[in-house]
Amino acid sequence: MTRVERRHRAPLAGHPRSAPAPWVLATASWLTTVDHKRIGILYGVTAFAFFLLGGLEALVIRLQLAAPGAHVVSAGTYNALFTMHGTTMVFLAIMPLNAAFFNYMVPLLIGARDVAFPRLNALSYWIFLVGGLFLNASFLAGTPPDVGWFGYANLTSKQFSPTQGVDFWLLSLLILGVSSMIAAINFIVTILNMHAPGMRLMRMPVFVWMTLVVQFLIVLAFPPITVGLIFLMFDRFFSTHFYDVAAGGDLHLWQHLFWIFGHPEVYILILPAFGIVSEVLPTFARKPLFGAPVVIYSGVLIGFFGFGVWSHHMFAAGMGPVADAAFSVATMLIAIPTGVKIFNWLATLWGGTIRATTALHFAVGLVGLFTIGGLSGIMHASPPVDLQQTDSYFVVAHLHYVLIGGSLFGLFAGAYYWWPKMTGRFLDERLGKLNFWILFAGFNTTFFPQHYLGAIGMPRRIYTYAEATGWTLWNAVSTVGAFGIAAGVLVFMVNAWRSLRAGAPAPADPWDGRTLEWRTSSPPPPHDFDTIPPILGRDTFWREKYGPRGVPPAPAHERIHLPAPSHWPVVVGLGMAVSAVGALTHGTIVLVGALVTVVGIFRFALEHHRTPAHAHQIGGLGLDHRKVAMWVFLGSECFLFGTLIATYLAYRGKSVVGPEPHEILNIPLTTISTFDLLMSSLLMVLALAAVERDDRRQARLWLFGTAFFGLIFLGFQAWEFTQFVGEGLTLQRNLFGSTFFVLTGFHGGHVTVGVVWLLSLWLLDLRGRLGATDAVKVEVAGLYWHFVDVVWIVIFTLVYLIP
């Protein structure tokens, strides 16, 4: 047994471990940690702080509406409060609280010692922290965003929002999107490629499955909103015309891009809670989850159908009867897999040996409350009903029954369930049940009356109302309930504080659990498991404890690799923060921040060039993590460029002024540059072959040749842009200029990244640090380069060859 193993050897299941000391978050080890469990804790603590901030904003909103004609805050402040409340709760509270459980529990649940990319995992947290702090810095700057959390155009234009509030909002969401994308790729690779040998996909716990579906939703749903935010940024910073009706733009473009993301986002928020409930109920009913494969399939179907229902948010936008009918039917269909889960959970409880723990209370509370929210959601599948209820408090009630009655109650169930595993101490069950009942009563008191308020005509986003409306009583009741929710959260905070200070020590398996996280100590050692656990089927740990005799012995002990801590994720996050600040102040600061970010990325990438923490697979697909990650990333890039191209096609021919494309595009010149870029792909193939056979001279030649051909392409593109500007076509000229320059410019940016990547590999080869064992690095770069070339073929065909 190695020294690391002796130091971190886990006690036998069922025996308490010595009480852990309280965490000291201020130590340097927390700044440089790459341990997935510590990063999970960082996510949880940070997200809970933002949750409290969002809750305070909600309390001020409810105080303002408690009585007619109130003057607690001004109309402008009220607009800022509901904008920040919605944005904070969705992006800074619920999503990262889910991420806290993803980080801490997923490797334990699949029998892995870490995530696939530990340092990328750390980077995702620090970028998330930067985005959250930057958004809330708008309060300090005196210009918080005040356009609603969905930021409808053209309210977000410079004409109607001349302050920097919208700039804070869009830049912070772009930063948070980067964090979410990095984390999603990391978890997809971890789940697919690092589950313990024998844990086939259908043996994975339901929480892991819901995590996997959520990560694919993030990878595929975030590109459209990213493109929408990029368009908004260009409109505000560079005077383009994406959302300018006078120039031929269409305000529906923003709505489509936002809700193509926005409805999958609902399932990004709720599916992790479904996964938690699917773990909690079997444990405390002491029986397997009823129809577990069906629950898994229904979760996958929810994710799939989630991309086909976005326009039910737009029934009032005048899309026409055909579109309304199609999205109405799709909305009704998605209720089927959701309803299946409800019946599976109830069947799990039926006939079980129920232990009424706090975690079970919250799980059952989710089943009941989410059912109410789902029923009101089905109402909105009918366009006439939706038109009646759109922008009313009925929709506010529906949303909160889904996201509080669903997501938040699920998160509390997970907190009470996994708290002993994460801290080594129990939460107090009496305080926990008090927490549940206060929160349950406060929640229903707050939001159930809002169904009635909406039905009698109270609209959303109003900051005051007249006494004659008849809304006074139920607004007062709703405000009382909101403070009940606050009291319930306060009870949880007291319970958590008491647990951390002097809670009862928890053994490794305090609930007689069914899954692998209960097989190791509480809290787990840095390496999670001394030996990779045996997989006997679904609920493998339960089978190991209570199954037939003759359980196979644990695998032979293997070398434990603990990835080294790194400070470069913090540096990259700081660089992005400086760039964001510079975007609102001075261009020089942007360049300084970009320089820090680029240097940090290079040092981050080369920190463990020869000893990457992700080089070791223990199971799963058996593929290199980096190749799987690149394929996932390229899938996301397909949606990014697909959205850019679709926007170009939708706006083609709609320019009000300026030259037409056929009058200005230089097809012969672009044909030559296209041929140059395609030939670079051939050189990339030769470079990979040379590296694989360890022919360093040929490898250097073809790597440099590929990069050189890329530089030639960029030179052609720069010359073409210069010619266009000389002929009067600029970003600001018309819709064609806006869409053309953004589309081709973003492709050029991807080519630039590829050139820098190839030159970095070339320099590594010159220094003797790129051999046959590093061929996968060149292969991954080649996948990216070939993708960029294929995208250009599509752009060239649609923009240059089709009139």
pLDDT tens profile 447-500: 999 999 999 999 999 999 999 999 999 999 999 999 999 999 999 999 999 999
Give the pLDDT score at 611. Answer: 60
How many whole angstroms separate alpha carbon 151 and alpha carbon 138?
16
Among the listed residues 36, 37, 38, 85, the single catalytic one is 85
Among the listed residues 87, 124, 278, 597, the single catalytic one is 278
619: confidence class by pLDDT, cuts 50, 70, 90: low
Residue 47 buriedness (CB in 10 A; 0-12 / 13-18 / 19+): buried
The pLDDT of residue 553 is above 70? no
How many whole angstroms separate alpha carbon 775 and alpha carbon 694?
9
Give the pLDDT score at 442. Answer: 97
Integer CA distances (angstroms), 546 to 65, 286, 421, 543, in order: 56, 12, 21, 5
The pLDDT of residue 579 is above 60? yes
Give the pLDDT score at 18. Answer: 45
Give the pLDDT score at 447. Answer: 97
- Asked, for residue 12, whether it belongs to a domain, the answer is no
Give the pLDDT score at 615. Answer: 47
What backbone phi and psi angles, to 5 degrees, belong to 507?
-75, 180
Mean pLDDT across 153-171: 95
Domain final residue pick, 482, 515, 543: 543
Q: Is 252 designated active site? A: no
Rounded (5°) CA angle 451-453-458: 125
528: confidence class by pLDDT, cuts 50, 70, 90: confident
Strands (E), 131-270: none
Least confident residue range of 239-243, 586-590, 765-769: 765-769
Contact predicate 701/636, CB 8 Å: no
The pLDDT of residue 27 is above 80? no
Give the pLDDT score at 539. Answer: 86
Among the listed residues 83, 157, 180, 597, the single catalytic one is 180
Q: Is 85 designated active site? A: yes
How big is the chain by its Cα radius of gyration, in Å?
A: 27
Query: Encoding tokens for residue 414?
Result: 């997970």
- Asked, for residue 1, whether it belongs to a domain, the answer is no
The pLDDT of residue 213 is above 90? yes
Q: Is 180 designated active site? A: yes
pLDDT tens profile 68-77: 999 999 999 9
Q: Is 341 designated active site? A: yes
665: confidence class by pLDDT, cuts 50, 70, 90: confident
Among the listed residues 37, 38, 113, 263, the single catalytic one is 263
How many whole angstroms separate alpha carbon 151 and alpha carbon 169?
9
C-alpha torsion 373→379→380→381, nearest 10? 120
Mean pLDDT across 186-206: 92
Mean pLDDT across 386-410: 94
The pLDDT of residue 555 is above 90? no
Mean pLDDT across 578-590: 95
CATH number of the structural domain spanning residue 760 = 1.20.120.80
- Asked, for residue 592, whether it belongs to a domain, the answer is no
CATH number of the structural domain spanning residue 376 = 1.20.210.10
Least confident residue range of 11-15, 153-157, 357-361, 799-803: 11-15
Contact predicate 118/615, CB 8 Å: no
Enumerate the β-bridge partners of residue 505.
425
3-state secondary structure of 60: helix
Q: Which domain holds residue 722?
A: 658-801
Domain final residue pick, 543, 564, 590: 543
The pLDDT of residue 621 is above 70? no
How many whole angstroms separate alpha carbon 598 and alpha carbon 568?
11
Q: Is 549 designated active site? A: no
- Asked, for residue 683, whether it belongs to a domain, the answer is yes
**pLDDT over 70 percentage in the chain:** 93
Q: What is the DSSP string of 236-292?
A: HHH---TT-GGGT--THHHHHHHHHHHHHHHHHHHHHHHHHHHHHHHHHHTSPPTTH
Q: Is 278 designated active site? A: yes
Amino acid at 624: D
Integer CA distances (angstroms), 5 to 559, 560, 561, in order: 9, 7, 10
The pLDDT of residue 624 is above 90? no
The pLDDT of residue 31 is above 60? yes
Domain final residue pick, 543, 573, 589: 543
How many whole angstroms separate alpha carbon 502 and alpha carbon 537?
37
Amino acid at 648: Y
Give the pLDDT score at 663. Answer: 74
269: confidence class by pLDDT, cuts 50, 70, 90: very high
How many whole angstroms separate alpha carbon 664 and alpha carbon 651?
17
Mean pLDDT across 661-689: 91
Looking at every residue in the chain, the average pLDDT score rounds to: 91
Mean pLDDT across 35-61: 97
Give the pLDDT score at 15. Answer: 43
Amino acid at 352: G
Among the listed residues 43, 254, 267, 471, the single catalytic one is 267
- Asked, for residue 311, whether it belongs to a domain, the answer is yes
Contact predicate 661/799, CB 8 Å: yes
How many whole angstroms separate alpha carbon 301 and alpha carbon 506?
38
Same domain, 249 and 380: yes
Among the listed residues 341, 398, 451, 747, the single catalytic one is 341
Residue 605 buriedness (CB in 10 A; 0-12 / 13-18 / 19+): middle
Integer CA distances (angstroms), 265 to 95, 129, 136, 178, 319, in order: 9, 20, 22, 15, 22
How many whole angstroms separate alpha carbon 258 and alpha carbon 161?
19
Highest averaged pLDDT of the listed ranges 303-317, 523-537, 636-650: 636-650
Q: Is 557 designated active site? A: no
Q: Is 616 designated active site? A: no
Among the listed residues 265, 517, 624, 765, the single catalytic one is 265
- Asked, for residue 633, whether it belongs to a domain, the answer is no
Give the pLDDT score at 612. Answer: 57
Among the listed residues 43, 104, 126, 149, the single catalytic one is 149
Mean pLDDT across 772-795: 95
Among the listed residues 338, 446, 739, 744, the single catalytic one is 338
Contact predicate 107/115, CB 8 Å: yes
User: Which of 580, 578, 572 minimizes the C-alpha distance to 597?
Assistant: 572
8: confidence class by pLDDT, cuts 50, 70, 90: very low
Within a 10 A sphere around the Cβ of 558, how many other Cβ atoms? 12
Give the pLDDT score at 534. Answer: 84
Q: Is 138 designated active site? A: no
The pLDDT of residue 380 is above 70? yes
The pLDDT of residue 26 is above 90? no
536: confidence class by pLDDT, cuts 50, 70, 90: confident
11: confidence class by pLDDT, cuts 50, 70, 90: very low
User: Which of 524, 670, 552, 570 minimizes the C-alpha distance to 112?
Assistant: 524
**DSSP for residue 24:** -
Mean pLDDT across 233-242: 95
Among the listed residues 241, 312, 538, 747, the single catalytic one is 312
**DSSP for residue 798:** I
pTM: 0.93
The pLDDT of residue 560 is above 90? no
The pLDDT of residue 608 is above 50? yes
Integer CA distances (angstroms), 514 to 37, 252, 389, 679, in order: 20, 49, 44, 55
Give the pLDDT score at 160. Answer: 94
Mean pLDDT across 173-193: 96
- Asked, for residue 612, whether it belongs to a domain, the answer is no
- Asked, for residue 619, whether it belongs to a domain, the answer is no
Contact predicate 731/737, CB 8 Å: yes
The pLDDT of residue 532 is above 90? no
Give the pLDDT score at 540. Answer: 86
Q: Is 267 designated active site? A: yes
Q: Is 161 designated active site? A: no
> Which residues fall within 8 angstroms of residue 551, CB to CB, at 6 or more apart?
534, 536, 543, 544
The pLDDT of residue 717 is above 60? yes
Same domain, 378 and 238: yes
Mean pLDDT across 292-311: 93
Q: Is 499 designated active site? A: no
Same domain, 536 and 674: no
Rounded (5°) CA angle 496-501-507: 80
**DSSP for residue 194:** H
State how many domains the chain has. 2
Among the listed residues 114, 235, 624, 765, the single catalytic one is 114
